[in-house]
Amino acid sequence: MASILPEILMSILSTIRVPRPGDRVHKDECAFSFASPESDGGLYVCMNSFLGFGSKYVERHHAKTGQRAYLHITRTRKTQVMSHTLQVQQWDGEVRQESKHAAELKQLDNGVKIPPCGWKCEVCDLQENLWMNLTDGKVFCGRRYFDGSGGNNHALLHYQQTGYPLAVKLGTITPDGADVYSYDEDDMVLDFKLPEHLSHFGIDMMTMEKLEIAVNQRVGEWEVIQESGTTLRPLWGPGLTGMKNLGNSCYLNSVMQVLFTIPDFQTKYVSIIDKIFNEAPSDPTQDFKTQENTEIDSAHVQEKPFLSLIFFVQGDQVGIVPRMFKALVGRGHPEFSTNRQQDAQEFLLHFINMVERNCRSGMNPSEAFRFLVEEKIVCQQSQKAKYTQRVDYIVQLPVPMDQATNMEELQEAERRREEVESSGAPPSAAPRAQIPFAACLAALSEPETLTDFWSSAVQSKTTATKTTRFASFPDHLVIQIKKFTFGLDWVPKKLDVSIDVPDTLDLSALLAMGQQPGEELLPEVAPPPLMTPDVEHSLSVCACLSAPVLDDSTVSQLCEMGFPLEACRKAVYYTGNTGIDAAMNWVMGHMEDPDFSAPLVLAGSSSAPGTTPTESLPEEHLATIVSMGFSRDQATRALRATNNVLERAVDWIFSHLDDLESMDVSEGGRSEGGSEASREPPPGPRVRDGTGKYELFAFISHMGTSTMCGHYVCHIKKDQQWVIFNDQKVCASEKPPKDLGYLYFYRRVVE
């Protein structure tokens, strides 16, 4: 026996290695579930791969790999006594952690005393978005926002020069607390010694009043959406598990909670759970299918061991921690890979795009949202029409502010505001605009006038009208209320509106009818091509090619907004000179394209899609892209747009899925006989179709002044009961604020 033990010990030691630089040690979360050191049974960390496994999966990993050495980590949560006033939810809605610097923060005895008003940045003299450093009392402006507003980064530069970690935002200090930011921890934090730290510089918290009027005007929105005025009954169990906020991750939590309820996603990732786990790669944390399955399984699995993941701390449900999932879906993305707040609608589209990439073959759950849109353009000079179809996943519903039912109240409030501003008194809260849902739907369907449309019938620019209709109705319909817009100064703003969104919806009247009897179509002649450097020489010697026709005024307007010249020219070209709105939408939808600022590379000089290119393409690159499920024409277009670089072409093709699929439908879906009047689905992307009658089952709401800040929660209807998911808090909803939502989710009513 004594001789056997050393052999066993040596066998075990041979599987143990020391982490090297670059190794990820997953000591906080299971690779296949959301088990953590706080879960029942704790967490087991493999001493060779450094992956973490809950008690449910460690035996499976041992059987699969033969690994025998694991570090067992358990953690017991202790209740911490906190000041009630300082743990009050902050304005951004996030649950903040106590800063590690708060207890022993160094404060300089430099005699600095901060006055109660009249603040300005010590470098640039800005008088808004000001932060006072809690170590030396210096006042500087905050970060510069994406649109150039906000500040000049002087508070951040001061930290980089001094290392003083904590700063408080002036204008947010009240007897209940303040906004405190830790540069070292890169997050908003709690400072439980804040009264003492402020007093050091002559600030008495108990006498301060919050001065940010714009935020105070939103207080009603925060309270109503979170239903904070009533005592809500907590819920837990399968399908009722909260998700912990990782720091501005409420947009992800809200979107994923809704997707959990859709049968297509459950079928794709839950029904084959064992198969996915057994086929997972050596590092499942980097595998989309495994992590997507982990996300849905942890919210819906019916097995009792999962209930051990639910904790209650002072009445709050901690919930699952989607740390690895967030890292995976945000990997490589300039925004979703950060800890900043994001737009829930943009994340939903990003996630759908990831699903599309990983489901090119087999069942694709994103088909539940996919539908076809028919756009009909009628040349007002020739009265000839053009029909195109494109793929979409979300209906963007405009908000016609001029249709408010309380217009007189709004006008009176605006008059009072102007009087108050002229007198110098602080403004009062403005009333919320009441917009009928029917008015929003009418604004979506009414014809749009195009003043610079290039008509192939008259071979010149003229006026046209464009109408948009549904060419198919999806199983699940997502409606985005376009609350976020730009002011006259191009600064983003949020419309404060209440919309009477219905529980049931019938869109049958918006069904596209196709080409009408006796209606003539515009000739299939493309506008003259855009001149690009790679074809300039050939154009100069080929008299048969026309010069490009671009609306210079539209290009100039886009350039004045700060967009690159080549991007502006492409926007005008790809939207067919249809005006600034269409070009602006193209720019906003393609800003993250890898070739956004690069010159447009056309296939040859004036060749149309599908014609033989003038230069050869690497056949092996074409074969690689075609093997991924794309057509040869699509692969050709991607390679030409990226100078035949395969890696860039793959990124390009996935970021242009809608454009490519729309190309297939509009260019390949029309027969010589003009069969558009029929209801036969055109070739191209696979879509489901059915009745246009829907019922509301979920909605996501946003609180705050911009998608880049604030907080998201979602309400989901489960067993005829509305449930509010506010990160880890899951409760029965008493008054679901359906009129204040941002994203609405409907499912088809089957008659």
Report the distance separating Cα 288 and Cα 284, nearest Å: 8
Provide the residue type at 44 as one letter: Y
Residue 430 vs residue 89, higher pLDDT: 430
Q: What is the pLDDT of residue 67?
A: 86
Choice among 162-171, 491-500, 669-678 with the minimum mean pLDDT: 669-678
pLDDT digits (tens, 9 = 90+) for 510-532: 999 999 999 999 987 655 544 43
- CATH code, 12-73: 3.30.40.10
Residue 667 has pLDDT above 50, yes or no: no
Q: What is the pLDDT of residue 271?
A: 60
CB contact at 8 A, 549 and 577: yes
Q: What is the pLDDT of residue 590?
A: 78
pLDDT digits (tens, 9 = 90+) for 130-176: 999 999 999 999 887 544 456 788 999 999 999 999 999 887 787 77
- Mean pLDDT to the nearest integer, 675-688: 52
- Catalytic annotation, pick one of 61, 158, 711, 715: 711
The reply, when asked if residue 654 is annotated as ligand binding, is: no
pLDDT digits (tens, 9 = 90+) for 42-58: 899 998 888 888 888 88
What mean pLDDT value characterizes the chain? 76
Count other Cβ atoms within 10 Å, centred on residue 400: 14
The reply, when asked if residue 143 is annotated as ligand binding, is: yes
The reply, when asked if residue 145 is annotated as ligand binding, is: yes
The reply, when asked if residue 124 is annotated as ligand binding, is: yes
The reply, when asked if residue 183 is annotated as ligand binding, is: yes
Report the distance separating Cα 529 and Cα 523, nearest Å: 17
The reply, when asked if residue 131 is annotated as ligand binding, is: yes
Confidence band of 601 (pLDDT split at 50, 70, 90): low
CB contact at 8 A, 744 and 479: yes
Percent of the chain topping pLDDT 90 = 31
Report the distance separating Cα 43 and Cα 25, nearest Å: 12
The reply, when asked if residue 61 is annotated as ligand binding, is: no
Q: What is the pLDDT of residue 216?
A: 41
Q: What is the pLDDT of residue 4?
A: 61
The reply, when asked if residue 393 is annotated as ligand binding, is: no
CATH of 552-590, one of 1.10.20.140, 3.10.28.10, 3.60.110.10, 1.10.8.10: 1.10.8.10
Report the distance separating Cα 133 and Cα 205, nearest Å: 16
Confidence band of 584 (pLDDT split at 50, 70, 90): confident
Identical fold for domains 96-208 and 552-590, yes or no, is no
Residue 308 has pLDDT above 80, yes or no: no
Looking at the domain covering 96-208, what would its CATH class be? alpha beta
Catalytic annotation on 542? no
Q: What is the pLDDT of residue 478?
A: 97
What distances in angstroms separate CA 307 from CA 246, 291, 296, 304, 378, one per listed residue?
21, 19, 15, 6, 59
Q: What is the pLDDT of residue 426?
A: 57
Task: Encode burial over 603-614: b for 16+ CB neighbours within 10 A, e otherwise.
Answer: bbbbeeeeeeee
Confidence band of 209 (pLDDT split at 50, 70, 90): very low
- Catalytic annotation, pick one of 26, 46, 197, 250: 250
Residue 326 vs residue 274, higher pLDDT: 326
The architecture in CATH of the region 220-368+692-748 reads Alpha-Beta Complex (3.90)
Q: What is the pLDDT of residue 609?
A: 34
Report the distance separating Cα 448 and Cα 746, nearest Å: 26
Catalytic annotation on 711? yes
Q: Token pair for residue 51?
A: 């992956």
Residue 432 has pLDDT above 50, yes or no: yes
- Mean pLDDT to the nearest integer, 371-380: 93
Q: What is the pLDDT of residue 479?
A: 97
The reply, when asked if residue 68 is annotated as ligand binding, is: no
Q: What is the pLDDT of residue 530?
A: 45
Q: What is the pLDDT of residue 582?
A: 78
Residue whose structure tokens are 């939810």: 89
Residue 362 vs residue 691, higher pLDDT: 691
Confidence band of 272 (pLDDT split at 50, 70, 90): low
Q: Token pair for residue 180?
A: 């405190």
| Beta bridge partner(s), residue 66 | none
All structural domains of the chain with their residue ranges: 12-73, 96-208, 220-368+692-748, 552-590
The pairing of strands 448-455 and 460-470 is antiparallel
Q: What is the pLDDT of residue 473?
A: 96
Residue 189 has pLDDT above 70, yes or no: yes
Residue whose structure tokens are 């020069």: 161
Report the distance separating Cα 227 and Cα 219, nearest Å: 12
| Secondary structure (DSSP) of 562-585 | T--HHHHHHHHHHTTT--HHHHHH
Q: Which of 456, 276, 318, 275 is nearest to 34 (CA)?
A: 318
Q: What is the pLDDT of residue 87?
A: 36
Report the distance separating Cα 257 and Cα 234, nearest Å: 16
Choice among 39-53, 599-613, 628-642 with the minimum mean pLDDT: 599-613
pLDDT digits (tens, 9 = 90+) for 532-576: 333 333 333 333 333 346 777 788 778 767 678 788 888 887 777
Confidence band of 119 (pLDDT split at 50, 70, 90): confident
pLDDT digits (tens, 9 = 90+) for 343-356: 999 999 989 888 88
The reply, when asked if residue 146 is annotated as ligand binding, is: yes
